Structure 1
Amino acid sequence: MSFTLPTYHEPDFTQELFEQSPDASFQKADKDGVAPRGFHSTSMFPEYFKVNGCWVLAQESRMDCLVALDGHDELQVVEARRIKRGDRVVMGRTERGEEGIYVHATGFRTDGESLDDKFVFRTGRSRETAFSRDYDKLYELLRYEREHGNIVFVLGPAVAFDNDSRQAMQLLVENGYVDGILAGNALATHDLEAGLFKTALGQNIYTQESVPNGHYNHLDILNMVRSCGSIEAFIEQEHIKDGIVYAMLKQRKALVLGGSIRDDGPLPEVYANVYQAQDAMRSVIRKATTVICLATQLHSIASGNMTPSFRVIDAKVRPVFIYSVDISEFAVNKLKDRGSLSATGIVTNVQDFIVNVAKGLGCR
């Protein structure tokens, strides 16, 4: 089975609805970081704005942002905190053309798909769902994306707690299935702990047995890395030869570590300022065409909110695929609750998931 990207169908702008729509209205911001009242907020879907009589797609979009017209009369999607006094901000709260704004939620839907509600069983994602088809589709997607897209993983520390899952993630990196990783202090700390001490949070990564004084291991790692000044210097000094972080640095792939208020240490590369972390995460996300979130609820929600349902590449609109994988149904479905409607949820142990994915892709 070969993978084919879904075809995007843009709105038919010759329809009377679009031809009679007024141009979008703009209002200048009076203050830095403050939008005019009644501003338009973006969704994850493709959004078109009528400017000078023409419908224009706002590119590089994401949820909960503003749309502003720059000095070249081009649309820019920006976070509210980046608005500057005098910026011309799109106004309006309707989305069907009434105010020159059209949100196109059905661009990738095939002719056979219906918007009507139906009474059917098991449409949600739960422990009762059979995910075998999801795995098969994911394997084909990742093979396609390795050659034509950009794959970003959002990782919780659970991936580094087990030898097999840690090794599987390393193989995915080394085989070209990872272009970026977004994570927190814990993922990198425990992965490095596993590389040096063969433990994660004091438990042996092979047997899962707690070792004597193991609760010091991650604290020793943090102290040692901080003493070296960087993760890369620590890996070189301690001759670390395996693991997720090791593979990412060796392959020169993007690794963004966003801090948390509960972090120990943290590692030198961890972003302590949340807005700097957001900027760094978005710099990776805005290139992504597939995002896979594993066992990290807050990072998953943050990444999902940054990820639109589409990307414009070589003047063509293509879908962005989002996966949320967790053993908790609540965590898996949280992205949908937050508005990331295109997210596919898989309820399973993430360590089993990543091992299956590496095997399914034939990584060695």
Structure 2
Amino acid sequence: MAFTLPFYHEPDFTQPRLENAPDAALAPAPRDGIAPANYHSTSMYPEYFKLGGRWLLAEESRMDCTAVFQDGEVRIVEFRNLKQGDLVVTGRSEDGSEGIYLWTGGFEEEGDARDAFAFRQGRSRETGYTRDYNELVELLRHERQHGNILWVMGPACAFDAGARKAFAALVRAGYVNGLMAGNALATHDMEASYLGTALGSDIYTQQPRENGHYNHLDTINKVRECGSIPAFVRAGHVTDGIMYECVQNSVPFVLVGSVRDDGPLPEVCGNVYEGQNAMRALVRSATTVICMATTLHTIATGNMTPSYRLVGGTVRPLYFYSIDVSEFSVNKLRDRGSLSVRTIVTNVQDFVGKLAGALGAV
């Protein structure tokens, strides 16, 4: 059966407690980067603010930010981006009593309730994932035509010849609209095509090469000599792989560095806040996010990603997946507040190959 988006149910604002609720209080930011006392901190869920007698939905949201009323709209602003005089929503109650209403039931349907007691409701290595794969395949087919699919990837995705081939096929088939990663994913993926290794080991046999520990540094050095990843690709130094296909298919990518990076590659953002801004720009377009084998980048992306998206005036879910062989990693994101995340505990190299095969990309 073809995938269909669930219908969004707005809150019933005719309820007396919401109809008679006061307007949300506003207070000016006292200085750049400083919120006023009793500021309201946002969540990943749809939030409505009563202003001028009307309930307004914050169309763009993310966790742990402020809500600013400007030009008749509610803008969600990071604390560091507040400007002196911005009118910030204040109030800590989210039940409508202070003109702020947090709405978590927008996509619930009758019959969603589950028994209080049931076996194996957690997400672990023992969980059955056949249904998850089938649903994800149908979702991605829908999103290729109607949405925007953003992938967040760790270097494990580039250490295997089959995984690189499968993800490259997904790019060519139109299932990748954006990529976010660190220095390592891009480096080892291009190393695989340039020198046949990933972190010095053969991309297929996994046997270490003599002096292979130089290979990732030689790759970075050659990319820096060329000036950029696209220039490295255009020069013919790589002929396949993840970054090659992103360049060839004009897929935007954001690489954000860490304190231990080698090189790094020219495109890697060394300033953490510039990197966060660049990631946020891609997240704003995404309707499905799939994070694979990168705990820190997954948590970072989850914290800036709402559970919904406003598309053409209609509220729809924003689907968020976390894929990792570690139960700790997939559960940590949920512990950090990304409560709508869907998790699959598996080796990401197997995941990519299975997904690409089911989608007919390979």
TM-score, reference length from structure 1: 0.98
* Residue matched to 1:111: 110
Q: 2:233, 2:247 within 8 Å by CA — same for their partners in 1?
A: no
Per-residue CA deviations over 1:115-159 (Å, capped at 9, x if unaligned) read: x87122211110010111000000000000000000000000111
Letter in 1 for 2:77: V
* Residue matched to 1:185: 183
Letter in 1 for 2:43: S
2:204 to 199, 203, 206: 206
Distance 1:234 1:143 in 2: 32
Letter in 1 for 2:351: F
C-alpha displacement of 1:248: 0.4
Distance 2:2 2:105 in 1: 24
Distance 1:336 1:28 in 2: 33
Q: Which moved more, 1:254-263 or 1:226-235?
A: 226-235
Distance 1:339 1:62 in 2: 11
Per-residue CA deviations over 1:42-88 (Å, capped at 9, x if unaligned) read: 10000000011111101111111100011x22211110111011110
* Residue matched to 1:47: 47
* Residue matched to 2:243: 245
C-alpha displacement of 1:168: 0.5
* Residue matched to 2:217: 219
Percent identity of equivalent pairs: 59
| Equivalence map 1:246-285=2 (5 Å) | 246-285=244-283
* Residue matched to 1:100: 99
Distance 1:259 1:151 in 2: 22
Distance 2:198 2:26 in 1: 53
- Where 2:235 maps in the other structure, the secondary structure is helix
CA RMSD of aligned residues (A): 0.9
Unaligned runs of 5+ in 2: none
Distance 2:94 2:32 in 1: 26
* Residue matched to 2:290: 292
* Residue matched to 1:303: 301
Distance 2:22 2:234 in 1: 61
Q: 2:254, 2:278 within 8 Å by CA — same for their partners in 1?
A: yes
Q: 2:154, 2:181 within 8 Å by CA — same for their partners in 1?
A: yes
Distance 1:9 1:332 in 2: 29
1:171 to 169, 182, 185: 169
What is the total number of aligned residue pairs between the two structures? 362
Distance 1:223 1:179 in 2: 28
Distance 1:67 1:340 in 2: 19
C-alpha displacement of 1:108: 0.6
* Residue matched to 2:69: 69
Q: 1:196, 1:238 within 8 Å by CA — same for their partners in 2?
A: no
Q: 1:188, 1:245 within 8 Å by CA — same for their partners in 2?
A: yes
Unaligned runs of 5+ in 1: none
- Where 2:320 maps in the other structure, the secondary structure is strand
Distance 2:189 2:332 in 1: 26
